[in-house]
Amino acid sequence: STADIQKSINKYRNLSISHKQLSRIKQYDHLIDYFTEFSYVAPRHKVSGDFVRALILAESNGKTNAVSHKNALGLGQIKYSTGKEAAKILSRSTVHFRYVDKSTLANLKRDDLFNPAVNILLTCYLIAKYNHKFDGKLELVLSAWNAGEYTPSLASNRHAPYQETENLIGKVNGYYLFFLKNRYY
């Protein structure tokens, strides 16, 4: 419900980021800045670098080798099946990405998701896709990210009704606000 989302947003509203977290995320700035320059799904629609930073901190705390209890991998915590599907689409695009070659995308292996460049590219593509599909509504974009884009509640324009998803929405929102208020670079 909206009340549950608001509770999570309020819970994480004043998140701060430690120097260690900033240092960890800052090492990926060149990749985040590069991969957020592309319009993956619709012309002139780009993903916010600060949103990607917030998502990475909320999902993996900036650790490239992170593995969730649901076997989501790397910085953005991407499931291999989702990553492989997205990588195939990107491998067929006309865009040539610096840092990630087409053959890696075409033949994505599970361990490739631990490569920061691959993971950030796929994160940017998937967030762009969900932003477009769900009209940029944060709670729906993050529900698709966390619970899957075909979660039944999303078809009714409602967030995924899971505590984990609601906490992710709150954390990403809190980190995102931190980055928007505190230009650290």
Question: Could you tell me the pLDDT band of residue 6, with boundaries at 50, 70 and 90?
Answer: confident
Q: What is the model's pTM?
A: 0.94
pLDDT tens track for 29-57: 999 999 999 999 988 889 999 999 999 99
Q: Is the CB of residue 56 less than 8 Å from the CB of residue 44? A: no
Mean pLDDT confidence for 76-89: 98
DSSP assignment of 100-124, as one string? S-HHHHHT--GGGGGSHHHHHHHHH
